[in-house]
Amino acid sequence: MKVGFIGLGTMGGSMAYNALQGGNELTVHDIRRESATRHLEAGAAWADTPREVAEASEIVFTSLPGPTEVEAVALGEDGLFQGLTEGKVYLDLSTSTPGLIRRISEEAAVRGIHVLDAPVSGGPGGAESGRLAVWVGGDKEVFDRCKPVLDAIGDAAYYVGPVGAGSVAKLVHNCAGYVVQCALAEVFTMGVKAGVEPLALWQAVRKGAGGRRGMFEGLAEHLLPGKFDPPDFALRLARKDVDLAVGVGREFDVPMRLANLALQELTEAMNRGWGGRDSRVAMLLQEERAGVEVRVDEEALRQAVEG
């Protein structure tokens, strides 16, 4: 397949190279031509502008720093839309905004051009090895047509939903990770200042319930099916534990901003009379504030977990 690739940085350079190694014809462009050295040596063609990449390709990928660059490359002077023609496909691998890719998709649809958002997760090592998750939003038939190329780039190309859905999934994933990162920094500084050696602390907690499973696995047990009874661990006990941790933080003068927010949340849930329910029932408070229920049919959820 004739593939175009724009943006040959830390992530994009490896993804483009893997697309070439997957047996595709490759045309590349970057603001720094030297970024394309290994691609050109391996048989790729160089284009001076995004427009020229689009003219030479059936499918064009961009891997760019953010929304500003995506908009400029797609819609700007000598941009992709000046070279893409009916039936061609544009996939943005960048971490961008769902609003922008939806607007780009609307402009593309008028010209018969297909647009998918396809942000990736796996870091530079994953980009090089091909062990990447690729979360795709857009037309399912177009996704299926592009999947052979996506499979050359990553090992977990997954169709999420309509255009923009891939970007939403990426932002949920990344934001959750950094919120957890802040929480871990908070509780580990508390633990070390309270007298526990860092390595011993890490080795201890990683064998607990939270350390033995992935960050999102617990959602399938309670929030997604909406099952909080009978409890695996009662809310009143969870509140007690967080209260004790916050108390240790006070004792050793460790700021515990996130832990105090969690304590407030659990306390509000207790005041709803939910003390005997599973501790995850406190997540319903955020559903109320957001005005949305996060629910999945139990059979569909079981199949997803087993799959």
What tokens does 91 get? Answer: 């996939």
Q: Closest Cα partner for 1 from 84, 47, 60, 86?
A: 60
CA 28 from chain centre, in angstroms, equals 25
Q: Output phi, psi for 221, to 5 deg.
A: -90, -30
- Measured at the CA of 43, the angle between CA 38 and CA 46, to 5 degrees, comes to 75
Q: Spell 106-122 as b/e; 16+ CB within 10 A means b.
A: eebeeeebbbbbbbbbb
3 state DSSP class of 129: helix
Range list of H helices, 22-78: 37-41, 50-56, 67-75
> Is the Cβ–Cβ distance between 97 and 72 less than 8 Å?
no
Q: Which residues pair with 26 in a beta bridge?
A: 3
Q: CB under 8 Å to 166, separation ≥6 — which residues?
A: 116, 117, 118, 119, 134, 135, 136, 137, 138, 160
Asked if 193 and 248 count as a contact pair (C-beta separation under 8 A), the reply is no
Residues carrying an active site annotation: 170
Cβ–Cβ contacts within 10 Å for residue 270, how many?
Answer: 15
3-state secondary structure 218-278: HHHCCCCCCCCCCCCCEHHHHHHHHHHHHHHHHHCCCCCHHHHHHHHHHHHHHHCCCCCCE
